[in-house]
Amino acid sequence: MPFSLSTTTTTPRSPNPNFRSRKSRMSTPPVLSLALPSDTGRVLSIQSHTVQGYVGNKSAVFPLQLLGYDVDPINSVQFSNHTGYPTFKGQVLNGEQLWELIEGLEANDLLFYTHLLTGYIGSVSFLNTILEVINKLRSVNPNLTYVCDPVMGDEGKLYVPEELVHVYREKVVPLASMLTPNQFEAEKLTGLRINSEEDGREACAILHAAGPSKVVITSITIGGLLLLIGSHQKEKGQKPEQFKILIDKIPAYFTGTGDLMTALLLGWSNKYPDSLDKAAELAVSTLQALLRRTLGDYKRAGYDPTSSSLEIRLIQSQDDIRNPNVELKAERYS
């Protein structure tokens, strides 16, 4: 059934006690997302950016805004297009430049965020700066929710330096509130081969023990079936609530889907904090509707959608983002 956002829009709450206006800057108006916070939150999203197409922040920011979140993006890279094209041009932000932006926000009392979202990070030095950012943000808001998509590779192929795996496993995962790896990334983080649903559930348990209370392995292929396995450990030491969602396979390859999925999981899990399975249903249903539209539009344009990676139709799918029709239901494990 469709889910409406009519009851979860950005109705202001009472003023934020963490917001401080500076008397020395009385001519500067307050930042309203700080002074009058919404019922959703304020997200700092550190990911890649492309001028054309939808990956990284281009794939994550707009959906979160549609779901009612204030989102401040920091672009870890700025490229003309994604790297699947024959060529690309652009710039890469380094750790020192990232920290300079954080210092600028701090100098103006703008560092209060409810959520931090990170995606693709290409170097150890930048990832180490992310660790500093997490600590800084939590010094301002100890209740910060950190949603980490540990983008390292897929289908058996690592596309970041090997040393990043160690940093993610030993330093980043323990700080995460929610982790959204794919099957390959979950295997790299746990050292466990995932060949069955039981393996997927065990991988989630291993990751819980390392830190995050919420784990969603966003895509697992087992016996020709594609599924998502989610796990929510509501209290440390408690048996987690685990579930799966069988996902319809769509015969094409799309860019930006992992970035979008993690953003949707952040958005819906914050609205349903005790029902990760419901949040995953909404996220998966949104993504499936968007991918079907993308596939259909390429076919209408006379293009063979199996010949290369496809740019997702994000703007055209905004109604599905706001009010997804849940067709794929979660099945809880006993």
pLDDT in tens, 281-323: 999 999 999 999 999 999 999 999 888 889 999 999 999 999 9
How far apart, in whole angstroms, are the C-alpha atoms of residue 300 and residue 294? 10
- Using the predicted structure, report yes or no on whether residue 182 has a pLDDT greater than 50: yes
- Using the predicted structure, report yes or no on whether residue 17 has a pLDDT greater than 60: no
User: 245 pairs with which residues across the strands?
Assistant: 228
- Amino acid 306: pLDDT: 87
Name which of 71-75, 130-134, 154-158 the model is least confident about.
Answer: 154-158
- Using the predicted structure, report yes or no on whether residue 266 has a pLDDT greater than 60: yes
- Using the predicted structure, report yes or no on whether residue 231 has a pLDDT greater than 90: yes
- The answer to whether the beta carbons of residues 43 and 69 sit under 8 Å apart is yes
Nearest CA among 137, 129, 165 for reference residue 150: 165
Q: What is the β-pairing status of strands 225-232 and 241-247?
A: antiparallel
pLDDT in tens, 24-47: 455 678 888 888 877 889 999 999
User: Of the segments 9-23, 28-42, 201-215, which one has the largest average pLDDT value?
Assistant: 201-215
User: For residues 53 and 103, which has the higher predicted lDDT (pLDDT)?
Assistant: 103
Tell me the residue type at 101: L
Average pLDDT over residues 161-181: 97
SS in 3 state form for the chain? Answer: CECCCCCCCCCCCCCCCCCCCCHHHCCCCCCHHHHCCCCCCEEEEEEEEECCCCCCHHHHHHHHHHCCCEEEEEEEEEECCCCCCCCCCEEECCHHHHHHHHHHHHHCCCCCCCEEEECCCCCHHHHHHHHHHHHHHHHHCCCCEEEECCCCEECCEECCCHHHHHHHHHHHHHHCCEECCCHHHHHHHHCCCCCCHHHHHHHHHHHHHHCCCEEEEEEEEECCEEEEEEEECCCCCCCCEEEEEEECCCCCCEECHHHHHHHHHHHHHHHCCCCHHHHHHHHHHHHHHHHHHHHHHHHHCCCCCCCCCEECCCHHHHHHHHCCECCCCCEECC
Please name the residue that has the structure tokens 């980490």: 148
| Average pLDDT, rounded, for the chain | 91
Nearest CA among 92, 5, 110 for reference residue 48: 92
- Amino acid 16: pLDDT: 60
User: For residues 191 and 19, which has the higher predicted lDDT (pLDDT)?
Assistant: 191
- Amino acid 24: pLDDT: 46
Confidence of residue 5 (pLDDT cuts 50, 70, 90): very low
- The answer to whether the beta carbons of residues 152 and 158 sit under 8 Å apart is yes
- Using the predicted structure, report yes or no on whether residue 12 has a pLDDT greater than 70: no
Residue 125 tokens, joined: 């030095």
- The answer to whether the beta carbons of residues 321 and 289 sit under 8 Å apart is no
φ and ψ at 214, to 5 degrees? -120, 130
- Using the predicted structure, report yes or no on whether residue 22 has a pLDDT greater than 70: no
Percent of the chain with pLDDT over 90: 78
pLDDT in tens, 94-136: 999 999 999 999 999 999 999 999 999 989 999 999 999 999 9
**Looking at the annotation, which residues are catalytic?**
259
How far apart, in whole angstroms, are the C-alpha atoms of residue 40 and residue 283? 16
In the chain, what are the domains? 36-332 (3.40.1190.20)
Nearest CA among 104, 112, 95, 107 for reference residue 46: 95
- Amino acid 10: pLDDT: 41
- Amino acid 19: pLDDT: 52
